[in-house]
Amino acid sequence: MAAEKASPIPSETMKPAPAPVRTAEPEHPPAQTRRNWQKYGTPALVVLLAAAVIFTITRNWNAWEGGRIEQVTDDAYVRGDLTPLSTKVAGIVRDVKVSDYQTVRKGDLLVQLDDDDYQAQVAQAKAAVEAAKSAIENNRRQKQLQQAKVDRALAGVSQARAEISSAQAGIEAAQADVDRTAPERRRQENLMETNSTTRQKLEQVVAQDEQSRAQLTSRQAGLQQAKAALASSESSVDAERRGLAVLDSQEAQLIADLHAKEAALTVAQVNLGYTRIEAPNDGSVGERQVRPGQLVSPGTQVIPFVSRSKWVQANYRETQLTNMKIGDVAEIRVDAYPGKTFHGKVIEIAPASGSQFALLPPDNATGNYTKVVQRLSVKIALDDASTADELRPGLSVTATVRTRR
């Protein structure tokens, strides 16, 4: 009882504790919504905008790129005609007339081969041509002689025909004499039987008759002889004409042989010309690949030649060629000459993409197709040809083509 009185509990402590004050519930949902929007809505909006931009760019990129007035590419290089000069005939190098990287003019002698053998072949071919010409001239003279023989045989024919005509006329005259003397002879013989004429007269008439008959026989023999001479002359004409025909055929053969000899001479002269390797145009040479005394065979490369003419080959993407035409002006910036601009114009556009000219063109029908933007070569010529001497094939170029719209 004493302990309980010593520690009395105040009456206030016996009251229940007041409930904690709670904030108003309507203030929490807006703040939570704002935090959720910032956490999820903003990234979603950014993704949607990015997707819209990507879609728009992807769908219209080719049109935008092809519609640009200035089309630029750095996939461009200086090009030139580079020709590896080779030998056509075998021989020993006599002299090399140029040094490495020397500038040359068209027709300058670069390499000379030993040409003694080819000079001898040319001389031999010339002699063969002269022999063929002499054979043709000899044949022509034989033809003239044979023609003279033909003419002589024809003259014999004419003479034989004249003799035949003369013999026939003589026979007719002799026959007329026989026809005249024969009746007279019979009349005188009848008169002699009656002693009405003298024997002298009879003998005279008989002699005339015999003479007429002999003359007729002689004329007939002459006619046969003239006919035989005519046949002989005609045979001679035929034989001489056959000989002339043989000479004509020989002339055709000799002319063909002459043409063959002249062709052989041309080949020998061409081979002789191949011993001189000359510059095909104005330009410069590369490094010499042969030296004097070296034996070379056909196809041996002796020295490369770079023509003076230069151009730019720019490989544009297919999407850049929408408005590009032949004749468009171009600006060329060469990496080797910073700050310097060359001017030119488009002269050619490749008829197909570079992949079509490749050794192994791609086949997109194999099932593993991947679309790759193709490139086409555009040839750009320089406006000032004198600037070509400053450029070297293979230099990197940035080409800008201004399309005409």
pLDDT at 34: 61
Q: Is the pLDDT of residue 253 over 80?
A: yes
Domain with 394, as residue range(s), is 66-114+282-360+373-402
Q: How many residues does the chain have?
A: 405
Residue 46 domain flag: no
Residues 135 and 251 in one domain: yes
> Residue type at 213?
R
Percent of the chain at pLDDT > 70 equals 78
Question: What backbone phi and psi angles, to 5 degrees, belong to 65?
Answer: -70, -45
Mean pLDDT for 87-112 is: 94
Q: In the 3-class helix/strand/coil scheme, how is 253-297 assigned residue by residue?
A: HHHHHHHHHHHHHHHHHHHHHCCEEECCCCEEECCCCCCCCCEEC
Residues 287 and 351 in one domain: yes
pLDDT at 288: 93
More confident residue, 5 or 28: 28
**pLDDT category of residue 355 using cuts at 50, 70 and 90:** confident
Long-range contacts of 185-193 (CB under 8 A, 24+ apart): 185/209
pLDDT at 7: 43
pLDDT at 70: 86
Residues 98 and 133 in one domain: no
pLDDT at 163: 73
Residue 57 domain flag: no
Q: Cβ distance 355 to 374 under 8 Å? A: yes
Q: What is the pLDDT of residues 225-250, one digit of tens each?
A: 777 777 777 778 788 788 878 888 88
Locate 293 and state its tokens: 């005394």
Residues 83 and 185 in one domain: no
Residues 127 and 248 in one domain: yes
Residue 138 domain flag: yes
Distance CA 349, CA 325 (A): 8
**Could you tell me which residues come within 8 angstroms of residue 121 by beta carbon, excluding any fewer than 6 positions away?**
268, 271, 272
**pLDDT category of residue 38 using cuts at 50, 70 and 90:** low
Q: What is the pLDDT of residues 360-382, one digit of tens each?
A: 777 777 777 778 888 999 999 99
**pLDDT category of residue 21 using cuts at 50, 70 and 90:** very low
Residue 60 domain flag: no
Q: Is the pLDDT of residue 1 over 50?
A: no
Residues 193 and 84 in one domain: no
What is the DSSP annotation of 123-184?
HHHHHHHHHHHHHHHHHHHHHHHHHHHHHHHHHHHHHHHHHHHHHHHHHHHHHHHHHHHHHH
Q: What is the DSSP letter of 327?
A: T
What is the number of domains present in the chain? 2
Residues 121 and 93 in one domain: no
Residues 309 and 253 in one domain: no
Residues 343 and 242 in one domain: no
Q: What is the pLDDT of residues 165-201, one digit of tens each?
A: 777 777 776 677 666 777 766 776 676 667 766 677 6
- CA 330 to each of CA 72, 322, 376: distance values in angstroms, whole numbers, following the listed order: 10, 16, 16
Mean pLDDT for 372-397 is: 88
Q: Which of 238, 273, 308 is the last residue of a domain?
A: 273
For residue 269, what is the domain's CATH number?
Answer: 1.10.287.620
Q: Which of 231, 254, 273 is the last residue of a domain?
A: 273
Relative to beta strand 396-402, strand 375-382 is unpaired
Residue 6 domain flag: no
Percent of the chain at pLDDT > 90 equals 40
Distance CA 123, CA 116 (A): 11
pLDDT at 44: 76
**pLDDT category of residue 8 using cuts at 50, 70 and 90:** very low
**pLDDT category of residue 11 using cuts at 50, 70 and 90:** very low
Residues 173 and 264 in one domain: yes
Residues 76 and 197 in one domain: no
Mean pLDDT of the chain: 81
Question: What backbone phi and psi angles, to 5 degrees, belong to 53?
Answer: -65, -45
Q: What is the DSSP letter of 336?
A: T
Residues 315 and 397 in one domain: yes
Residue with structure tokens 């630029």?
72
Q: Which of 218, 249, 273 is the last residue of a domain?
A: 273
Mean pLDDT for 63-88 is: 84
